[in-house]
Amino acid sequence: MVKENLGQVLKNIEQACQKSGRDPKEVTLIAVSKTKPVPMLEEAYCAGSRDFGENKVQEIMDKYPVLPKDIHWHMIGHLQRNKVKYIVDKVCLIHSVDSLRLAEEISSQAEKKQVEVDILVEVNIAQEESKFGVSKEEAIQLVEAISKLPHIHIQGLMAIAPFVENPEDNRAYFRQIKKLSVDIMKKNIDNVSMSALSMGMTGDYMVAVEEGSTMVRVGTGIFGERNYS
């Protein structure tokens, strides 16, 4: 099932790229494996997945040692400062940086572990109270402040769009995020790249790709519904 789903998602990404004149190689599919057991991740791995997304530090700690070392782990969930030390040397990208204090902790733990850490700044695009992330206005200030820290490198922006029935309803938000990343890029800030745009989930990743996403985070569409009970 996982293999077939993966194939379908990749086909959809390709189609969205075709429609918008993009190269599918620009888009990384992150298989969001939170709550899913290791054998399901192995199935995805065997079908070709190398990028996995998790939203809990503990789950990364549990899965990291038992899965192949060439997996790129993405931290996509809210990250508490006291847990940064457990994952800075395990993840390839932290998508969810939304405060200077968190960035400072990542920088300091990276120094201790002698690693360089790539991050994205999380933007709360629809200003939803239930979601983490900074406003578009705060984003620029935060990027500028983080850019001065050692051992931490901003690669772009991450956004979680509202849950909607019709993915078209999120198109304007994705467009705003893309525009924000271009505006920040034009500032040519040292130690800041805006090459990555992490947006789009199961319900809306095709629209996100059409609007410039370079990383889609798909869970349900690959692994099926999550069971939280």
Ligand X SMILES: *Cc1c(COP(=O)(O)O)cnc(C)c1O
Give the residues lining the site for ligand X (CB under 6 A). 32, 34, 55, 76-77, 160, 201-203, 217-221
CA distance readout (Å), 226 to 21, 32, 35, 221: 34, 11, 7, 11
**Cβ proximity to ligand X, 149 vs 173, nearer residue:** 173
Q: How far is the CB of 32 from ligand X (least distance, A)?
A: 4
Q: How far is the CB of 163 from ligand X (least distance, A)?
A: 8
**Is residue 121 classed as helix, strand or coil in its secondary structure?**
strand
Q: Which two tokens stand for residue 137?
A: 């206005």
Q: How far is the CB of 110 from ligand X (least distance, A)?
A: 22
**Cβ proximity to ligand X, 176 vs 202, nearer residue:** 202
CA angle 24, 219, 63 (to 5 degrees): 105
Q: Which residues contact 47 (CB under 8 A, 6 or more apart)?
A: 2, 3, 6, 7
The answer to whether 195 and 28 have CB atoms below 8 angstroms apart is no
**Cβ proximity to ligand X, 12 vs 147, nearer residue:** 12
Spatial separation of the C-alpha atoms in residues 197 and 223, rounded to whole Å: 23
**Cβ proximity to ligand X, 154 vs 158, nearer residue:** 158
The DSSP output letter for 134 is B
Write the DSSP assignment of 13-69 as a string of letters: HHHHHHHHT--GGG-EEEEE-TT--HHHHHHHHHTT--EEEES-HHHHHHHGGGS-T
Q: How far is the CB of 95 from ligand X (least distance, A)?
A: 7
Q: How far is the CB of 187 from ligand X (least distance, A)?
A: 26
Q: How far is the CB of 194 from ligand X (least distance, A)?
A: 19
User: Shortest Cβ contact with ligand X: which residue?
Assistant: 219
